[in-house]
Structure 1
């Protein structure tokens, strides 16, 4: 049997890494961070335990990469959902809805992710985060930003703050109110994206851009 080519080996490594990321999201969402071990993740992914350490320098970094990959996939799916959004305002609305939707639908996972970012190791700029950043930066460019890089960073900060507000133990804010505030800031009509319900008309006056 002839040895595998470099391209085949690279594809196998990519698949192994993606299985580990997917297993991490599943297990942390089911059990929480502390109850999930690297051995559990390897077992769920169907890979050798040593591969986890080969690809990732620890569980915290693995979780950040896994959540960034999930966010990238969710955002990409939202932007490409038929009918495909070409208008910058529609794309920005879909981006906001995708991120707020993760906080609403996967609270344990996203709360764990946000808590990890605030710890000593901080924010991880991994390949998965960079893909997510590219989509958000491109969204701001299509929205009409004169400085997509700076405006992407501001959008990221606003979305992170909104996610924390949704997940804040004991004092969560409703997604609808946070969405309304973000839409107002960017001059977006409530009907864009995927509205979570009727427009909260009280106090929701969308400014003209």
Structure 2
């Protein structure tokens, strides 16, 4: 196989995988995890059923990869939106707002994602998760961290905890309160990032 043919095939595989991940986000968001089958996802993506198994060992890994892709795309868009900034504090605020915002824009998907992580399958490593991790570690580096790897893991843990609290059935925390706590933790002013229009910071 020529280098050009190999490159074309690689691009086709990448696009097929992307279509499957996007279809997963759409269907699980519409129907929920249990009501979405791998066959449904393949049909929505316009792919053969066997292609799903080729890329992913099961539905749970597929869904986790799809959510990590969504989180990476959302975070990337937030960090690079106009006006583009290199200010570490603004980028940290944008990162927090991007992740917390997914609990509103993709509530069903994010609730299912967190439930899956807390079950036996645990946290699944995948290319999408690695790209998300790179962006978050770059964020803490620009913020001024002297221990980026450690501080990335701490930021990830804080964001996961906040997402769980926002999605807790029957007793969710207000987004404004959790945002205020995280912003105080990182010394950020409420006006940074994208403040929620319908909530004010919790009084301290």
Question: TM (normalized to structure 1)?
Answer: 0.94
- Separation in structure 2 between the aligned mates of residue 174 and residue 199 of structure 1, nearest angstrom: 10
For residues 55-113 of structure 1, the C-alpha deviation after alignment (integer angstroms, 9 at most, x for no partner) is 00000000000000000000000000000121000000000000000012211100000
Matched, 1:127 2:100: no
Q: How much has 1:158 moved relative to structure 2? A: 0.3
Aligned position for 1:40: 40
Aligned position for 2:53: 53
Aligned position for 1:207: none
Q: Retained in 1: the 8 A contact 2:180–2:202? A: no
Tell me the matched-pair count: 201
For residues 153-181 of structure 1, the C-alpha deviation after alignment (integer angstroms, 9 at most, x for no partner) is 00000000000000000100111110000
Superposition pairs of residues 179-198 of structure 1, within 5 angstroms: 179-197=179-197
Q: Identify if the C-alpha distance between structure 1 residues 54 and 193 changes in structure 2 by more than 3 Å, giving closer, same or farther.
A: same
- Separation in structure 2 between the aligned mates of residue 118 and residue 158 of structure 1, nearest angstrom: 15
Which consecutive residues of structure 1, in runs of 5 or more, have no partner in the other structure?
A: 204-209
Q: How much has 1:120 moved relative to structure 2? A: 1.1
Q: Secondary structure at the match of 2:130?
A: helix
Question: TM (normalized to structure 2)?
Answer: 0.96
Q: Retained in 2: the 8 A contact 1:104–1:166? A: no
Q: How much has 1:22 moved relative to structure 2? A: 0.1
Matched, 1:200 2:181: no
Which consecutive residues of structure 2, in runs of 5 or more, have no partner in the other structure?
A: none
Q: Secondary structure at the match of 1:5?
A: helix
Q: How much has 1:199 moved relative to structure 2? A: 4.0
For residues 16-60 of structure 1, the C-alpha deviation after alignment (integer angstroms, 9 at most, x for no partner) is 000000000000000000000000000000000000000000000
Superposition pairs of residues 132-147 of structure 1, within 5 angstroms: 132-147=132-147
Aligned position for 1:7: 7
Aligned position for 2:178: 178
- Separation in structure 2 between the aligned mates of residue 200 and residue 49 of structure 1, nearest angstrom: 48
Q: How much has 1:201 moved relative to structure 2? A: 6.0
Q: Secondary structure at the match of 2:161?
A: helix
